[in-house]
Structure 1
Amino acid sequence: MSDHGLTPSDPSQTATQDDVDRAVATVRRLAGWHVWPVREETITVDTPGDPLIILPTLRVEDVIDVTVEGQQVDMDTVSWSADGMITLQRAPRGLRRVAVTLRHGFESAPDLAGVCLKMAARSVQVQGSVSVGGISVGATAGITPQSTEWRVLDMYKLGPEP
């Protein structure tokens, strides 16, 4: 069972659970993180050597454990923000040096869930085209967000890494 909790919403549509799951996976890949629901996981990150580390999340509920180069860090020395930033007294420079176990994500994201359901429904529509003069343009269908849906997705999308 998928952790997102979405099912095809309109019985008159032919979208299946697999279609919904694919739409959610696409949105999560575009956002750069799972978004919802809240989950506990360990994230291993590359570090530039700065004490500030930006995690791939936009909503942290709790930081449970931090290890630096395999050594557990005293949690009294770790500061973190709900936006996904942590500071360490000693941060190494290198790839995959810091592992953070945290609870993160939104309980729900109804606006983004709606985008996923619309994408799933569109993905099973028969694609057609519109011809005007000698130009043929494909009609909207598929599993990519449309222009207004990108605006919703952008609210949950990770920014560029420093």
Structure 2
Amino acid sequence: MAVTADELIALGQGRFASDDTALAEDIITRVWGAIRDYCEWHITPVQRETLIVDGTGGPLLQLPTLHLVQVHSVREDGETLDLAEVEWSTDGSVRKRSGRWTERWRGIEIDIEHGYANVPGIDDVVLSIAARRMTAPAGQIRLRVGQTDEQLGDALGSDLAVLDRYALGTTG
């Protein structure tokens, strides 16, 4: 999480009190949580993680990541595979050089590093959403003035366009 409470407070240009740090940190944490839920993976930072995934019964396995950095080990049906028998792509695809993956649910355990070191576009989205949440009156979620209707504290279409580039299952 690269966005800081101080950045959010500074963005407010005097609308937020300097002692709003705890509130700003809480809002940033909640926004990041919502973004991770929307994208269905952690996105940033690069982290090492052991995933247990269902076997596909086919030659290709798609991990829940869009930026695979390293595969450290693979276990299939409890047996450790030689990494020379496995190919992988940064998009999260993992392929067996020969044969097929097990069909067993939770049959594959894979130790990986994945995520992005830096995602400035998402940092901008976090600041944008967090600033709207900081300025939204308590309990007010919608503001309508004439023909303009705005969701307070939610992601805008432009925010979602950025997030869709990092979301699993989208083609954005």
TM-score normalised by length of structure 1: 0.85
Query: Which of 130, 134, 153 is the equivalent residue of 2:144?
Result: 130
**1:6 is the counterpart of 2:3:** yes
Note the alpha carbon deviations across 1:96-145, whole angstroms, 9 max, x for none. 1111111111111010111012111212321353254xx9x863312x31
Q: How far apart are 1:16 and its partner, in Å?
A: 1.4
Q: How far apart are 1:83 and its partner, in Å?
A: 0.8
User: Partner residue of 1:62?
Assistant: 70
Cα 1:7–1:63 shift into 2, 3 Å: same
User: Partner residue of 2:109?
Assistant: 99
The one-letter code matched in structure 1 to 2:167 is: K
The one-letter code matched in structure 2 to 1:65 is: S
User: Partner residue of 1:139?
Assistant: 150
Is the 2:143–2:152 contact (alpha carbons within 8 Å) kept by the matching residues of 1? Answer: no
Matched residue SS, 2:107: strand
Query: Which of 33, 42, 55 is the equivalent residue of 1:34?
Result: 42
TM-score normalised by length of structure 2: 0.81
Query: Which of 40, 51, 58 is the equivalent residue of 1:43?
Result: 51
Matched residue SS, 1:152: helix
| Paired residues for 1:70-89 under 5 Å | 70-88=78-96, 89=99
Rounded to whole Å, the distance in 2 between the matches of 1:57 and 1:115 is 20
User: Following TM superposition, where does structure 1 have runs of at least 4 consecutive aligned residues deviating by more than 6 angstroms?
Assistant: none
The one-letter code matched in structure 1 to 2:133 is: S
Matched residue SS, 1:48: coil
Count of matched residue positions in the alignment of Structure 1 and Structure 2: 153
**1:53 is the counterpart of 2:64:** no
Q: CA RMSD, aligned part only? A: 1.9
User: Partner residue of 1:154?
Assistant: 164
Q: How far apart are 1:70 and its partner, in Å?
A: 1.8
Matched residue SS, 1:25: helix
Matched residue SS, 1:103: strand
Where do 5+ consecutive residues of structure 1 fail to align? none
Note the alpha carbon deviations across 1:40-95, whole angstroms, 9 max, x for none. 00111112201100001111111001011222111110111111000123411021
Where do 5+ consecutive residues of structure 2 fail to align? none
Cα 1:50–1:90 shift into 2, 3 Å: closer
Is the 2:8–2:127 contact (alpha carbons within 8 Å) kept by the matching residues of 1? Answer: no
